[in-house]
Each structure stands twice: as C-alpha cells, then as structure tokens.
Amino acid sequence: MTAAARPDQPAKFPRKLTTDKALHLFQPIRRRLVVELVDVLGPMHIRALSDAIACITDSQYDSVYVSLSQQHLPKLDDYDIVEFDEQDLEVAPGPHFADCAAFVDDAQSRFRSEADSEQIDRGER
C-alpha cells in the first residue's frame, strides 16, 4: 500500500537498501518472481500475479495469493520497490523498482552461470 493510500499515517521515506538487506529481501523466490513478472509484463492484478507464480513454482494458488497479499507485496511496498494498492489489488513498479529488477536479474544470471559451469565441469550438461 502506498503512502498516499494511508492518509492517517505519515508519509514513508525510502529506506536505504544495503546489499545485505537486498540479498535477504530477495531470498524468497516469490519476491524475485514478483519483480521479474512485473518487469516483463508491467502492472498487474494480484490474481494474475498469483496464478503465474503458482504455475512457475508448482505451488497451490491459494497459498501463493495469501503469502503475496499478506507478506511479500507489503514488504516490497515498504521498500518502494512495488506499489501494492490493497483496494484495487494492483501491483505496479515503485520508485526503486528498476534498480531492484536489475539487481535480481544480475544475481540470478551470475548464479545460473556458476551452476552451468559446475555442471559442465562435472560433465552433467
């Protein structure tokens, strides 16, 4: 939920996101997938986002929906990475989205490359 949507609370200021905090924040696959999907598909309704993540992770839709709405999206919204409108249930890029999308993409590329190299070294590829 954005600060503008909560007039009874003071405006929030972006918190500094250190590398350690970013690594911890994006540890859950569902948070990384939120960033990846919104980056590729643009703003979307939480139902569509939940459905896509459930398919990708082979998880139950209800479990994904609840965890996104109660845990992951509010956390990403707190850091201004996404804007989660709890009224319309829309998820859109926030002010720090582009930097975090690049961070997630770079981290996943690096680790994919390392895993691919290890498989080649062991002859598994």
The predicted structure's pLDDT at residue 116: 52
Annotated domain spans of the chain = 27-121
Cα–chain center distance at 72: 7
**Whether the predicted pLDDT of 117 surpasses 60:** no
- pLDDT tens-digit series, residues 47-71: 999 999 999 999 999 999 999 999 9
Residue 43 Cα distances to 48, 55, 64, 73, 112, angstroms:
10, 19, 18, 13, 27
* Average predicted confidence (pLDDT) for the chain: 82
Q: Which CATH number does 27-121 carry?
A: 1.10.10
Q: Taking residues 14-34, what's their average pLDDT?
A: 85
- For residues 54 and 86, give the distance between their C-alpha atoms in angstroms, rounded to a whole number: 20
